[in-house]
Amino acid sequence: MSIAEHAWCATTPKRHAPDDASVLKSVGSALDVLECFAVDNELGVSDIARRLGVAKSTAHRLLTTLVSRGFVEQDPHSGLYRLGLHLFELGQLAHARNELRHVAMPVLRQVHVATGLTVNFGVPDGPDIVFLERLENRDGVRILGHFGRRLPAHTTSSGKVIAAFNPTTYAARVASGFPPRVTGTVRSEADWQRQVDQARRVGYAVSSNESFEGSSSVAVPVLNRRVAVASVSVFGPTAVIEPEIERLVPLLTAASRRISKNLND
């Protein structure tokens, strides 16, 4: 699988709202429409109707409502729909206002300068890791860009090291299984437990050809009251990362400790 494929984690279980009177089904249906675009850039009314299991007229009404609020927009030539700019605006606000990211950014920039490698700041979300921030390598070659912002925890060094110090993340991944991504991906609970235990013992985790072929990463946890709330990792070609692990781990560990300290100041 190339880096340019599967920008979104298609293996993430669909989130279901609780079946009670406090949940508005119409809102849930609208959100279901938006999630259809997590994998595809553009979709038609029939595509949405088929994926949601609703009538085309219902899908059309939902899309029309979302278009009127700027969450979705329609291509005037093809008639297909895509995510709208207002959704982008709200996403940017959520990103900018995230306190954890705000605390981490000065430290992440220091790691970026010191290593010249791509630096990722990941947080757990159910069975996955979402990378809130990414500072690309300094040679001008964008390895990841916007791809791989959400990945299954078992395919990343960040997921392993967070799970080592966060029982909720560990259990969520076990419950969701271990679908293979590339050749080196963890494929069983026994292997998952072994690698998580190893990360807990040494304080860091390595992912080698597990999320993208030919690429590796090393990550350390960011702890808050002894629970991992995030990770700091560096990513790059396997031939570059693996020989540098012994040098990178102390640097990343010092960075994570500074972030943890700033969280509690």
Q: Which residues share a beta bridge with 235? A: 118, 217
Domain covering 98-264, topology? Beta-Lactamase (3.30.450)
Given a contact cutoff of 8 angstroms between Cβ atoms, the answer to whether 209 and 183 are in contact is yes
pLDDT of residue 20: 57
Closest Cα partner for 259 from 96, 94, 109? 109
Half-sphere exposure of 226 (CA within 13 A, CB side): 1
Tokens of 174: 């076990």
pLDDT for res 142: 52
pLDDT in tens, 37-46: 877 889 999 9
Q: How many angstroms separate the Cα of 232 from the Cα of each of 60, 66, 102, 136, 258?
A: 43, 36, 14, 14, 11
How buried is 81 (Cβ within 10 angstroms: 0-12 exposed, 13-18 middle, 19+ buried)?
buried
Report pLDDT digits (tens) over 67-99: 999 999 999 999 999 999 998 898 888 878 888
* Tens digit of each residue's pLDDT, the chain (265 residues): 333 334 344 545 555 555 555 567 888 889 899 988 877 889 999 999 999 999 999 999 999 999 999 999 999 999 999 999 998 898 888 878 888 888 999 999 999 999 999 999 999 999 999 999 999 886 644 555 555 588 999 999 999 999 999 999 999 999 999 988 888 889 999 999 999 999 999 999 999 988 888 899 999 999 999 999 999 999 999 999 999 999 999 999 999 999 999 987 7
- C-alpha to C-alpha distance for 85 and 71, rounded to whole angstroms: 7
Domain at 25-91: CATH architecture: Orthogonal Bundle (1.10)
- Report the pLDDT value the prediction gives residue 147, as an integer from 0 to 100: 57
SS (H, E, C) 69-128: CCCEEECCCCCCEEECHHHHHHHHHHHHCCHHHHHHHHHHHHHHHHHCCEEEEEEEECCE
Residues of the chain with CATH 1.10.10.10: 25-91
Q: What are phi and psi of 213, to 5 degrees?
A: -60, 135
Cα-based torsion angle of the residue sequence 102, 8, 71, 21 in order, rounded to the nearest 10 degrees: -90
pLDDT value for 230: 97
Domain with CATH 3.30.450.40 in the chain: 98-264
Q: Which of 4, 9, 2 is nearest to 155 (CA)?
A: 9
